[in-house]
Amino acid sequence: MSAVAMLAVVSGCGLLGGAEEKPAETASAGKLEKAKINLGLLPILDVASVHVAIKKGYFKEEGLEVEVKIVQGGAAAIPAVIKGDLDITFGNWVSFITAETNGAAKGVDGLKLINDGYQAKPEMFLILAKSDSAIKSPKDLEGKTIAINTFKNIAELTAKATLEANDVNPDNVTFKEFPFPDMEAAVQNGTVDAAFMVEPFISRAQRASGQITVLDAASGPTDGIPIAGYGTTGKFVKENPNTVAAFQRAMAKGQRDAADRPTVEPLLVEYAKVDKETASLVHFGEFPTTLDATRLQRVADLMRTYKLLENEFDVKTMLVGASGS
């Protein structure tokens, strides 16, 4: 599903609070240090803003050529960014923070977060089971196996938090890795008891296989939690400040336009390979246009609560061109 596209954009007003996206502080509107970048993406609704920017030519206006590389999740993509196989990647905040606190990117001046991507809303982060399964409620998940796309990511964090909120001990649940496109089949053939899905795979599994919702993982303690965004290395930011700033400006406009459902639905058919009816049923989250330190700190604090972090961590050290800092 790799695709090569020319992309670009101007900075826009934020959907949340009307704040203006700030470009990398060290960059000015000048010649791009790197006009072609490799960008890691998943084939999910969360990255619709990139595909909107591709379609509308926003990146192209900034002089950027973006080659899209499909990845399974942030935990898998971050090593590729550190190695230099990817310049920028979409990933969940948990994976970025985990890698940074573990010192995985020390040799490349750490990991830097440059654009927000997606924020939770109800029914866009669901644990599903077969329609004829004995699993009908969160309590029924105790002792069962749940598919997630990668370990130690936002899916595992929100699953554990909401399971515990529903009186289920997360230690009594087994998580197993599967790519999102394979989860529906894994549930149907009994390889796993349930699966943690995102859109458009939720709507496809519900429509095609009649799978049922067991738990909304974006509820209770995780209601409205920031999900994911775009990051790179400190080394890449230092060496390519104008390129990073151009990417940020393009993404601000793409994020703004991704809130328009008629714009996004046909793109889902193209890049996520779902039919038109499924695309029309997906539940949208939020596409923030600003990278806000206060909002992202909530993720780090929740990670500490559920022992995905040993110590307290200030996310401001990772942010480039953020508000609320």
pLDDT of residue 4: 34
pLDDT of residue 27: 41
pLDDT of residue 152: 86
CA distance 106 to 162: 33
The string of pLDDT tens digits covering residues 212-255 is 999 999 999 999 999 999 999 999 999 999 999 999 999 999 99
Helices 93-101 & 293-305 angle (0-180, nearest 10): 70
Q: What are phi and psi of 102, to 5 degrees?
A: -85, -5
Query: Helix or strand or coil: residue 218?
Result: coil
Per CATH, the architecture of 36-121+225-318 is what? 3-Layer(aba) Sandwich (3.40)
pLDDT of residue 6: 33
Per-residue burial over 108-123, b = 16 or more CB atoms within 10 Å of its CB, e = otherwise: bebbbbbbbbbbbeeb
Which pTM was predicted?
Answer: 0.86
Give residue for tokens 């953020």: 322
Q: Which residues of the chain have a pLDDT value below 70?
A: 1-29, 322-325
Q: Any idea which fold 125-222 has?
A: D-Maltodextrin-Binding Protein; domain 2 (3.40.190)
- Are the C-beta atoms of residues 130 and 234 closer than 8 Å to each other? no
The string of pLDDT tens digits covering residues 4-28 is 333 333 333 333 333 333 444 434 4
Token reading at 44: 């999910």
pLDDT of residue 28: 44
- Cis omega before residue 200 (within 30°)? yes
Give, for 52, the enclosing helix (H) or strand (E). helix 48-56
pLDDT of residue 30: 76
- Are the C-beta atoms of residues 195 and 189 closer than 8 Å to each other? no
